[in-house]
Structure 1
Amino acid sequence: MFKKRLFNYLIFICLMGYKFFLLGILCVLFVGELVDFSYGQYNKEFYDVVVIGAGISGLSAAESLRQMGLDVVVLEARDRVGGRLWTDNSTGTPLDLGASWIHGVKYSPIYELTKRHDIETIPTLDYSHKEALIYYDSSGNPLSDADEKALDNMYEDFLRFAYEKYEYHSDHPLKEKLFDQYVEYPKNSEKSIQYLLDTYIQLNDLGHLEDEFRHLTNLHFEHEWPAPINNTSARHHNTYLGFAGHEVIFPGGYDQITDKLAEQLDIRLNHIVYSVDYSSKNPDSLVFTTANSVSSGEVIFKSRYVISTLPLGVMKDSVQKDNVSNYGDFQSSPILDTDVGKVTFIPSLPNEKIKSIEKMGMGVMNKVYLEFEKPFWPDEQWLSFLHEGDNIGKWAIFLNVHKVLKDSGNENAPAILMAFNSAQYGKEIEKKSHEEIKQEAIKVLNQAYGTESNPILVSHLISDPLITKWGSDPFSRGSYSYPSIHSSPADYEQLAKKVDGKLFFAGEATTPSFMGVVDGAFLSGVRSAEEVYFEYQWDTKHVKIFYVLLGITSVFVVAWIAFLKYRQHRQIALDLLNRSKEVAWKTSILVVFSMIFVTVVYLWADTQVGIIPDIFDYATVLEDDCIILSELLKVLPYLDLSPQDEEVYYNQFNRCLYQ
């Protein structure tokens, strides 16, 4: 009896002591919120966060952190903000040399910014809309309606063939995670779009339209993912979710978005970062970012954290030795041979991250803007020239900028065409002179619109063409990422992972669901900002103490409940234990073998017959629109929308959850 009473007294003393200990910790936390004990707050050379790059991801990260109350500086190598968003106004018409479109306005954060800041946009149709596109054969003659319809039907059938046999099935995530990852993927790894195309053509008689079909397939894939189709993954090219709704462009230029985001930020232009030292030997575990300033020479920025928004092309050349990649000819033949723009990380990045960077693909897509005295081409929005043999992919598609601007209400729209050159020829064109590029463009247009008596001449151009060379830009080293045959979505996720709680990453190549698009870059910037803010709270606002305290409390409570239950229900527990021994061992064996049988039947049905059991339809995630809406909800606090607009989106997401 005495021992029992003594034990109860000890429990009482422990509980009371823990209560006062908890009260003391809460007081420390409260005072810590009032007084910031963080180091370096009065040092002008110290920042909470250094953001490398003033592209859309860097600007969204910096603006989000600014709204969170952190001290942020953005270092930009160029003499402008925007990165691969670049609007040229030299002709009097704003022309986007980098990204041009919002690819789907539904739940797009960029489109929300246009509404918030009253930025004008113009709806357009992509070249999958038959009414917006005209095809020309290699002789410059329009395809007949019958051939054009046959080509479109072939392409739709090819997409069905690709989806059924090889693509990542985002609508069956459980199947993908549990079976395809270990059964189908190893069997079909490193299969390319070219492999799919050759296989499809072998299985189908395409007749006289085989060359045209090869061109059409090449056009669609190489102008979505700017790499040769023999380098583009058949399995993962379709992991991009895509935004619903119509596409829009900016008659006043995409830089209106970046200018708005940059208004309240501390941005240092002409600061070329070449070293990021995040080693633990640094004083107070700071990160030292070293840059060459055009006006000040070498400058060192001290910060707690660094967000790198370096494009994948820069990352690849920064981590690869001697500019050599082991992953494909397209990636292993760099256009640029200079160390300018490369960044050295001290210590080196983790091997897993370096391997992912090397496997991922950085594509090249270049634009050529041609302005004439007056339009001599038809009124379709897209003009596609089907070439044969080695010319497939060269000068394959033109955007009728004149029509787009005229349809928006501009009666005096200039006569401008914009040509895309992508993938291998996108790289080759960067080695050509302006004069050679002009002559090639005029030659293609002459095939369809020129005559012997009235040819189209270079002299008909009223201004020098605007020509981009993104692969030769030392601060981008390519246009945007693409799903290479060597990579998977896991590599994009690996690139996005933080290092040592001090080095963070953002950019379109860090988000597999939205790779290659401006919205993806924006979302990644907000995501990295929130990761930094959590680390900041952990390091400086006593969040660490809170979590340790929460853990101790949880263990104490669980142990106390278990102790009480043990004392009160000891006999019940013993009874249950004895009953459990009565379970027949045959039942256990039956359950195990049943699970094995179901698994084997499933694998056979899926791999041999191609049947996907309906059971997996009940284990899918939300619809794509709802997933995209959930991403928009994450960034709503940083878009400065009205409470009414925010409530609309929250209500829509509730309907997604309960529909």
Structure 2
Amino acid sequence: MHRRSGCGDRAHVSTAGRWDVVTGRRSTAVPEPVSFLRTSWSTDPFALCSYSFQTPSCLGVDMRTLLAEPVADRVFFAGEATSVDAPATTRGALESGRRAAREIRRTARAGARIVVVGAGFAGLGCADALERFGFDVRVVEARDRVGGRVWTRRIAGAPVELGASWIHGAARNPIGALLRRSRGRGYEVDYDDIVGRDEAAMAELGEHLEALDDVEDPDMTAVSALLPDPLPAGLRYATSVAYAQEYGCEPSELAVAADQGWFGTGRGADLLLLDGYDRLIAHLQNRRVVHTNTPVTAISHTATGVRLDLAIGAHLDADAVVVTVPIGVLKSSAIRFTPALPERKQEAIAALGAGLLDKLWLEFESAFWDSTAEFIEWRDPDSPGLWSVWLNGHAVFGKPLLLGFNGGQHARALADASDRAVVASALTALGRRFA
């Protein structure tokens, strides 16, 4: 179990009293929360997803390499979606930015003007490398903050991640190196420290997936081809845990090739950050100026340079540009490219999936749950997979916090719901879990 990146700017803190339950009734087995933070990445115009995933396609993993290819040595691309080795991770994002910087170094003149679009790990990592190579760099960011899909807030004095939470395989990982240089602290996660798991359902899923390696065309075949249709309740729960909350999609949307081995784990332990991911972002940014509140609406290039049109009505001229926006933004055509991107790159953008994993942090007066296990699972008999996994913030931070996850179809169903409805839904689930 690896919880990947993903969050959005639709996050809220509330210190209100009791919540009126949408249904009018819910179990009283759990108290009301003191405060909450929730995300809705798919409704965030600067993300429109949590992270990418590989869909069934004749392009296979080439969809990522095609997305990464430069256009006319003027328009370069970076971001986790362009990473073959570590997609959907901060490591993949950072490495992709550094890769784009090396590509520019091979083709651009010394001191060339480069604009980097986006100030997440990909954009900041790219800018850092470009400046070291001697280029004149400007970073523009659509949001009013740096970090992109890394966003740290605080509840009860604890750093709570709304986007990326884990460092997957901290050893020999540039993100792990950043953690050490920033003198941040990591908490080693034990994914087997779980209470409430439906072991029979997970075992049943494992039996079906034994045939993964025997699929003749894993690039074109969806994982759902190995599963019964319709899915019984146990498998609906198990696939939510194994797929919706890993890849942000359903088995019918994910290529078998993507599930035959996730390369982003690296080596060593997976870590949660006890001082917050924002500490790493600040260390990487250093004193670099980032122009926030500066969305890019159009990028045009000629043989002599690049022009970027900004939402504020101005424009920037440069010798090259590095685009690091999420795959959801590229799929939405929020940025217009002139001339149009090459057909194969457009095919790659269309083929890549835009996964969704949303979070809900709840703060309580005190912990009413098992305060030692790191993860709490539950199978809802009416909607298997809904609020099925919770991270125990008491075990990690020593604070009365719970973090609930929803991915794939459950996340999409709640994306446009009100805060009150989402919190009420979670409390109802917890009430039934602990009744």
TM-score (norm 1): 0.47
* Matching of residues 44-55 of structure 1 within 5 Å: 48-55=113-120
Tell me which amino acid in the other structure corresponds to 1:431: D
Shift in CA distance, 38/232, structure 1 to aligned 2, threshold 3 Å: closer
Cα distance in 2 for partners of 1:263, 1:216 equals 43
Coordinate RMSD, CA, aligned: 2.3
Structure 1 residue corresponding to 2:389, chosen from 394, 397, 404: 397
- 1:287 corresponds in structure 2 to 306
Cα distance in 2 for partners of 1:111, 1:397 equals 26
CA displacement at 1:348 relative to structure 2: 0.8
- 1:217 corresponds in structure 2 to 239
Tell me which amino acid in the other structure corresponds to 2:305: L
Tell me which amino acid in the other structure corresponds to 1:216: A
SS at match of 1:230: helix
Q: Is the 8 A contact 1:88 1:96 kept in 2?
A: yes
Shift in CA distance, 193/350, structure 1 to aligned 2, threshold 3 Å: same
Aligned pair 1:162/2:212, yes or no? yes
Q: Is the 8 A contact 1:53 1:75 kept in 2?
A: yes
Structure 1 residue corresponding to 2:251, chosen from 229, 239, 251: 229
SS at match of 2:423: helix
Cα distance in 2 for partners of 1:310, 1:230 equals 26
CA displacement at 1:240 relative to structure 2: 2.8
Q: Is the 8 A contact 2:121 2:147 kept in 1?
A: yes
Tell me which amino acid in the other structure corresponds to 1:403: A
- 1:135 corresponds in structure 2 to 196
Shift in CA distance, 423/106, structure 1 to aligned 2, threshold 3 Å: same
- 2:361 corresponds in structure 1 to 369
SS at match of 1:54: coil
- 2:17 corresponds in structure 1 to none
Structure 2 residue corresponding to 1:345, chosen from 324, 337, 362: 337
SS at match of 1:258: helix
Cα distance in 1 for partners of 2:299, 2:222 equals 36
- 2:325 corresponds in structure 1 to 310
- Say how many residue pairs are matched: 326
Tell me which amino acid in the other structure corresponds to 1:197: L
CA displacement at 1:112 relative to structure 2: 0.9
- 2:315 corresponds in structure 1 to 300
Cα distance in 2 for partners of 1:245, 1:158 equals 29
Q: Is the 8 A contact 1:123 1:249 kept in 2?
A: yes
* Matching of residues 422-571 of structure 1 within 5 Å: 422-450=407-435
Tell me which amino acid in the other structure corresponds to 1:348: A
Shift in CA distance, 358/63, structure 1 to aligned 2, threshold 3 Å: same
Q: Is the 8 A contact 1:371 1:415 kept in 2?
A: yes
Q: Is the 8 A contact 1:276 1:287 kept in 2?
A: yes
Cα distance in 2 for partners of 1:122, 1:199 equals 40
Cα distance in 1 for partners of 2:155, 2:143 equals 18
Aligned pair 1:387/2:380, yes or no? yes
Aligned pair 1:102/2:167, yes or no? yes
1:530-585 CA-partner distances (Å, limit 9, x unpaired)? xxxxxxxxxxxxxxxxxxxxxxxxxxxxxxxxxxxxxxxxxxxxxxxxxxxxxxxx
1:33-92 CA-partner distances (Å, limit 9, x unpaired)? xxxx969x7xxxxx6210000010000000011111111010001111000000013653
- Overall identity of the aligned pairs, in %: 28
Aligned pair 1:76/2:98, yes or no? no
Cα distance in 2 for partners of 1:441, 1:82 equals 28
Q: Is the 8 A contact 1:101 1:250 kept in 2?
A: yes
Cα distance in 2 for partners of 1:223, 1:104 equals 19
Structure 1 residue runs without a partner (length 5+): 1-36, 42-46, 137-142, 167-183, 202-209, 319-341, 406-412, 451-659
- 1:92 corresponds in structure 2 to 157
Q: Is the 8 A contact 2:239 2:251 kept in 1?
A: no
SS at match of 1:362: strand
- 1:258 corresponds in structure 2 to 281
Cα distance in 2 for partners of 1:311, 1:57 equals 10
Structure showing greater Rg:
1
- 2:352 corresponds in structure 1 to 360
SS at match of 1:380: coil
Cα distance in 2 for partners of 1:38, 1:235 equals 40
Structure 1 residue corresponding to 2:226, chosen from 196, 203, 209: 196
Cα distance in 1 for partners of 2:210, 2:274 equals 36
SS at match of 2:307: strand
Structure 2 residue corresponding to 1:119, chosen from 175, 184, 197: 184
Cα distance in 1 for partners of 2:260, 2:316 equals 40
CA displacement at 1:153 relative to structure 2: 4.2
Cα distance in 2 for partners of 1:155, 1:228 equals 14
Q: Is the 8 A contact 1:73 1:265 kept in 2?
A: no
Cα distance in 2 for partners of 1:274, 1:243 equals 36
Q: Is the 8 A contact 2:127 2:139 kept in 1?
A: yes
1:206-252 CA-partner distances (Å, limit 9, x unpaired)? xxxx6324422331111110012211112333353131221101111
Q: Is the 8 A contact 1:215 1:388 kept in 2?
A: no
Q: Is the 8 A contact 1:88 1:94 kept in 2?
A: yes
SS at match of 1:375: coil
SS at match of 1:259: helix
SS at match of 1:290: strand
Tell me which amino acid in the other structure corresponds to 2:360: V
SS at match of 1:73: strand
Structure 2 residue corresponding to 1:420, chosen from 374, 399, 405: 405
CA displacement at 1:364 relative to structure 2: 0.8
SS at match of 2:227: helix
Tell me which amino acid in the other structure corresponds to 2:379: L
Q: Is the 8 A contact 2:209 2:226 kept in 1?
A: no
Cα distance in 1 for partners of 2:240, 2:155 equals 33
Cα distance in 1 for partners of 2:292, 2:233 equals 49
Shift in CA distance, 314/395, structure 1 to aligned 2, threshold 3 Å: same
Tell me which amino acid in the other structure corresponds to 1:430: A
SS at match of 2:196: strand
Tell me which amino acid in the other structure corresponds to 2:409: Q
CA displacement at 1:191 relative to structure 2: 2.4
Shift in CA distance, 274/91, structure 1 to aligned 2, threshold 3 Å: farther
Structure with the bigger percentage of strand: 2
SS at match of 1:83: coil
- 2:126 corresponds in structure 1 to 61
- 1:249 corresponds in structure 2 to 272
SS at match of 1:395: coil
Shift in CA distance, 200/427, structure 1 to aligned 2, threshold 3 Å: closer
Highest RCO, 1 vs 2 (Cα 8 Å, sep ≥ 6): 2
- 1:522 corresponds in structure 2 to none
Shift in CA distance, 161/38, structure 1 to aligned 2, threshold 3 Å: closer
Shift in CA distance, 151/228, structure 1 to aligned 2, threshold 3 Å: closer
- 1:584 corresponds in structure 2 to none
Cα distance in 2 for partners of 1:88, 1:189 equals 38
1:376-432 CA-partner distances (Å, limit 9, x unpaired)? 11131111111346x122111111011112xxxxxxx22000000110111121111
Deviating above 4 A after TM superposition, structure 1's stretches of 4 or more consecutive aligned residues are: 150-153
Cα distance in 2 for partners of 1:448, 1:396 equals 10
Tell me which amino acid in the other structure corresponds to 2:225: Y
